[in-house]
Amino acid sequence: MPHDEQLYLRPNIQVEPLIDGWYAWPHLIPPATAARNITERHMKIMDSYINMPQVHANAVKNPKMLGGPFIDYEGKRVDEIRALRENIKRERAHLIELSAALVELDNILRESAKGYSLLPLYEKIPAILRGYVELVYDLNNHPSFRLIEPLLYKSRYYDRSQQSVRLSKISNDDRPFVLSTPRLESDDALHLHLPFDSPVIDDLFRLKSSPRPWREIKEKLRVPDSRDDLLRSFLTPEAPPPYSPYAGPGVRWRYFGHACILIESQGVSMVFDPVLSYTYENGISRYTYLDLPDEIDYVLITHNHQDHILFETLLQIRHKIKNIVVPRNNRGHLQDPSLKLLFENCGFRNVVELNELEEIRVGDVSITGLPFFGEHADLDIHSKMAWLVKLGLHTLLFAADSCNIDPVLYEHLHRNFGDVDALFLGMECDGAPLSWLYGPLLSRKIERGMDESRRLAGSNYEQAMNIVNHLNCREAYVYAMGQEPWLNYIMSIKYTEQSRPMTESTKLINACRERGIIAERLYGEKEILLEPKSSPDVAPPLAIRA
């Protein structure tokens, strides 16, 4: 092949960011949560598969077990799973020790911290944790510890050699659930041992819009000659269609699926919770990577759940992002790793933290962080924020999975911020139990009844309607429902028309429409243009495309 041929990365090449072969969702990156997930999630799933592969094969086929801790290799490849387990035990022995030390520290505090000075306990802290934790009481003498997360990232416990990316072709929405199944080597995938902060990752994804010669691409990615054909099949001389940014006088927003929305207005672009489909024809029309501007001024993250922080998308667009805005949290709680540190250590620059009620302002555009209650099983977690966006006289609120557990909050917010034109709200009102996500962080098993009562649940009809009422919304959009089929690989949700999140959100939509409020459950793609408002009372959408 000619060495100077200019080639692009094809738009249907999927990238799976991996940690020791496991799909890299956000708790697998910070050292302490990673350590706990290795021992309490990955080791347990692999042990179970090695002992009973057929049980896993059957469970994966059972729709009721969707999202459960089962490996999806049809009961096969047991030797490879065993080899992976042994490799992790050997290579990550220090993280396995860290996981045990966190439990030991918890036990020491439970047994010995009774309200008296914590000073004598420092010498009992497991040696490997010394200097990385401060012991504290709350005002009721309940002991706990504070992790010095920035130091942990600089220690041997943040191990970039665990990280890699795996490239392969994708041509339809059928993609197996990735969170419980480690990725094994395969002939049709190119496994690049690059840490997430490598600039080569940005160069790779720049190839989606700027071509480079074959020889340069091959050398940069350090692909062996034996994989030339595979790499070449991921590339194409065909240029993608150019993107036309919105240049109108008002606001354009576009729904990309789940909680991912692009807004363009007055030369400012922002993307909320980026989650993209790759580009291929598969029934439902959708926006993809090709529908993003060359530069994104602000990426805004609502909260630290794996369907809202998706490194698979974020790594692809990192080179386009000028600023990434995250809720401020750095209190050293195991259950609430710092988002700023997470992104910075994964190679993102200009990570901006906002506190509740803090604001960013650019010309006539402002972004304000508003409190996001609930949906985190009553754990003390600060990495969650609803984003209030003002664009001229238009006001939009991206509340993600906020659960309106105390309506008085919205009275206060209305008093301070006034009416909201359009509300975007998730209504996954059943929610998984605490242990589904946070179980590996617990040092003692939680009682079943407690676990069931503490859920990752968003707002139901009544709670959602209450927000619409308090904020005088003229438009209400239900989103973040995990319904788009191209998201099945990270969502464990398959609703029927009878599922509560569906019935409750339908009820909301009907009730809103009866009162003349525009309401819809977003699905697939949607575009809305808002004309410039001259006074707060004139604001119909100019055009709607379903």
Positions in the binding site for Fe ion (CB under 5 A): 305, 307, 401, 480
C-beta of 265 vs 329, nearer to Fe ion: 329
CB of 1 to Fe ion, least distance (A): 44
Question: 231 in the Ramachandran plot: left (φ > 0), alpha (ψ -120 to 50) or beta?
Answer: alpha
β-bridge pairing 296-300 and 268-272: parallel
C-beta of 425 vs 539, nearer to Fe ion: 425
* Backbone CA torsion sign across 484, 180, 188, 88: positive
C-beta of 280 vs 523, nearer to Fe ion: 523
C-beta of 16 vs 401, nearer to Fe ion: 401
Contact by Cβ (8 Å): 530, 539: yes
Give the whole-angstrom CA distance, residue 57 versus residue 61.
Answer: 7
Contact by Cβ (8 Å): 322, 270: no
Distances in Å between the alpha carbon of 448 and those of 107, 251, 455? 21, 48, 12
Give the whole-angstrom CA distance, residue 51 versus residue 248.
Answer: 61
CB of 148 to Fe ion, least distance (A): 27
Give the whole-angstrom CA distance, residue 275 versus residue 349.
Answer: 19
C-beta of 59 vs 259, nearer to Fe ion: 259
CB of 371 to Fe ion, least distance (A): 15
C-beta of 381 vs 480, nearer to Fe ion: 480
Give the whole-angstrom CA distance, residue 145 versus residue 126.
Answer: 13
C-beta of 482 vs 524, nearer to Fe ion: 482
C-beta of 18 vs 480, nearer to Fe ion: 480
CB of 28 to Fe ion, least distance (A): 17
Q: Where are the beta strands (DSSP E) in 160-219?
A: 163-169, 190-192, 212-213
CB of 522 to Fe ion, least distance (A): 13
Sequence-ordered list of residues with C-beta below 8 angstroms from that of 217, at least 6 positions apart, any chain: 7, 207, 231, 235
Task: Tell me the helices (H) and strands (E) count for the chain, helix number first.
Answer: 16, 24
CB of 426 to Fe ion, least distance (A): 5
Q: Looking only at Cα atoms, what is the longest distance across the chain? A: 75
CB of 384 to Fe ion, least distance (A): 8
Residue 483 CB neighbours (<10 A): 21
Contact by Cβ (8 Å): 504, 429: yes
CB of 300 to Fe ion, least distance (A): 15
**Tokens coding 357:** 């009620």
CB of 382 to Fe ion, least distance (A): 14
C-beta of 59 vs 480, nearer to Fe ion: 480
